[in-house]
Amino acid sequence: MRSKFGRVAVMICVLVMLFALTSISHATTGDNEGLATDLKELGLFNGTDKGFELEKVPTRVQAAAMLVKLLGGESEALAKKYAHPFKDVPAWASDYVGYMYEKGLTKGISATMFGSNNNASAKDFSTFMLKALGYKDGDFTYNDVLNFAKEKGLVSTDEFNKLTTSTFTRNEMVLLAHNTLDVTFKGSEDRLIDRLVDAKVVSINVANSLKYYDYPTVPMEVTKGENSSLRFEIHHERISPEILDQLVFYSTIGSNMKLDMSTTEKLAKLIFISDFEKTYYQELAKEYGLFNPSGWYSKSNYFLNSFMGKDLEVAYYFEIPTGLSPGTYDLAMIKPNPELDKRLKELTVEYKNYYTSKMKSLVIMTPEMYNVVKKEDGNNYISFNKDKMPAELAKFTGITLGFTSGGSEIDYQLVLKSEFIVLGSPTRAGLSVYNDVDPILVRYNGNIIVGFYDDNLDLLGVGMFFVNE
């Protein structure tokens, strides 16, 4: 659930704090130190080597560069290198100003001047913010922009009076940012903080801890393991009793891969729970109740997880981010919104169709199709006899190998669910090219599942073999 804070303020705060500015005196320099600290925790404000320097004034070009970053446009700006007509823009900022010019966010102060080194005024900054919110020149005029900002809730009457009579500094930018956190985009209910979280610019867990959201939380403890490794443990017994009573089971559905949750579709596939999993989890829940998992953790690991409700649907999902150090964390438990919930139900039907269709064409590896040998280096290697394979399987060019702690039979549903989730991905995690000559190193002992892929990364077949120590 989103709290009564908004995205616009966050954007403004970030812009404010990262500027290197001309020093001036100001009577209320330290007023917004707490807000600046919050923004720093959100990753939106670094200050300078001298601290936040809230008494200083931002330049227009510095404000422009930070605005582009907050809009999520930095990658496009640096890649596209849009042209602009301004002669006073330093080389380091040209791509940012070009992006703003291309997107209609600025016209400069004249046909050929951006006013790069000019101090950014309250009017300048408010203009940038309103345009970022979808408003255009016809919606307001530069001279009346502060009145328009007050009308839209960016500033109160008292604050409006101060902005029109005092020098505009980083201190006022922080305050303006905070005040506009609840301001929505033109024609939308979307906030700036929401978009920054969606774009992974801001961590949902940090935003939640600072009350920009009001999600319930799941406590997690990260401790030191052996050989400088880390371990994590989810403490489900410390979840709110009201929330806990709604849940049946906890499912770890992420991995140490880099997960892409940039769209509802991608997020839905990552937290999708198929019918066969629901049955499995329900049986475990009868025996153990809520599962309290623990496992290895490293700063490069990233997990996406879900809690099942009593209706066996995803009740909440949460993420264990990268870069954690030993300590206790409260992770945001996010309830699927109507769009995501609808997509999860649709995926159940789509997966059934995919599974039925795929099983008809999937070739199962048999013993004569492979050889496992232990070489002098002590490692096990596998090679394949394509002349013993059906024509469809023999055209494979890549394989994946994975260890399973299960029984001696392939869990086709689990294999095909993994394929269904990453369908359309340009790569397969752990895919090795097979050249028909060199055997493949087997890094695990026990039951090994192998997947066979063609040049189009389409799964042709699967198999299982056992490797002794």
pLDDT along the chain (469 residues), means of 10: 45 38 35 85 73 85 77 85 96 94 90 94 85 86 94 90 89 78 83 80 87 91 84 88 88 63 86 86 80 76 86 91 89 93 95 94 95 89 95 94 76 87 77 89 88 94 88
CA distance 336 to 267: 10
Domain final residue pick, 347, 370, 393? 347
Q: Are residues 225 and 278 in the same domain?
A: yes
Distance between CA 385 and CA 448 in Å, rounded? Answer: 18
pLDDT number for residue 263: 85
Residues 318 and 183 in one domain: no
- Cβ(180)–Cβ(129) under 8 Å? yes
171 lies in the same domain as 291: no
Structure tokens at 143: 């001279």
Tokens representing 404? Answer: 């399973």
Host domain of residue 292: 215-347
Tell me how many domains the chain contains.
3
Q: What is the pLDDT, as a whole number, of residue 46?
A: 66
Nearest 5 degrees, angle CA 264-CA 417-CA 273? Answer: 55
67 and 177, same domain (yes or no): yes
pLDDT of residue 444: 80
Choosing from 347, 375, 410, the residue where a domain stops is 347
- For residue 412, being part of any structural domain is answered with yes
pTM for the model:
0.71
26 domain residue, yes or no? yes
